[in-house]
Copies of this chain bind each other. A is one copy, B any other.
Amino acid sequence: MTCSATHVTEQIRARGFRLTQPRMAILNVLYEAGGHLTPTEIFEHLHPKLPHVSEPTIYRNLDFLRLNGFVRATPTGNGRLEYEIVGHPHHHLRCQDCGTEIEIEHSLLQPLYERLEQSTGYRLTETHHTFLGYCPRCKPKGE
């Protein structure tokens, strides 16, 4: 288990929640994957080793981990949600044609966030966004 994984489990205990076997297993799958996973993918990863862990437990724990700020839910292209460990602040830019996806550093959005805070009076949370477009290779076709 990585250093930050240990930090998360300590935090869960510190906040008075329980470190259950399914909960830790879900966190481990997400850490090992290192990217976005759907609830069904997580279920399939766990099932061979922990066949008793049920779907509702996956969904409930993903929600629990999200509400506690340990994972993030991000809508995939077709309406489903994918989950990932909250780590470095980033966003995505996906090619509508070939699907190629690159990461955007959150620092690039910082000026926008400040402008939005000024013009609306809201305090903005760092939300996770996926932008769409055409990559350099597909761009000619896209126009």
> Which A residues are within 8 Å of any B CB, using their own CB?
73, 75, 79-81, 93, 95-96, 102, 104, 108-109, 111-112, 115-117, 119-125, 127, 129-136, 139, 142-143
Interface contact A127-B134, CB-CB below 8 Å? no
How far, in whole Å, are A102 and B119 apart by their CA atoms in the complex?
A: 11
Give every chain B residue within 8 A of A79 (Cβ-Cβ): 73, 75, 80-81
Contact B116 A124 (CB under 8 A): no
* Chain A contact surface mostly: mixed
- Pairwise interchain contact B96-A125, C-beta atoms closer than 8 A: yes
Q: Do the beta carbons of A133 and B123 come within 8 Å of each other?
A: yes
Q: Using A75-B79, A127-B130, A127-B131 as known contacts, say yes or no to A108 and B102 having CB atoms under 8 A apart.
A: no
Is the CB–CB distance between A136 and B111 below 8 Å?
no
B135 touches A124 (CB 8 A): no
Cα distance A127–B104 in the bound complex, in angstroms: 15
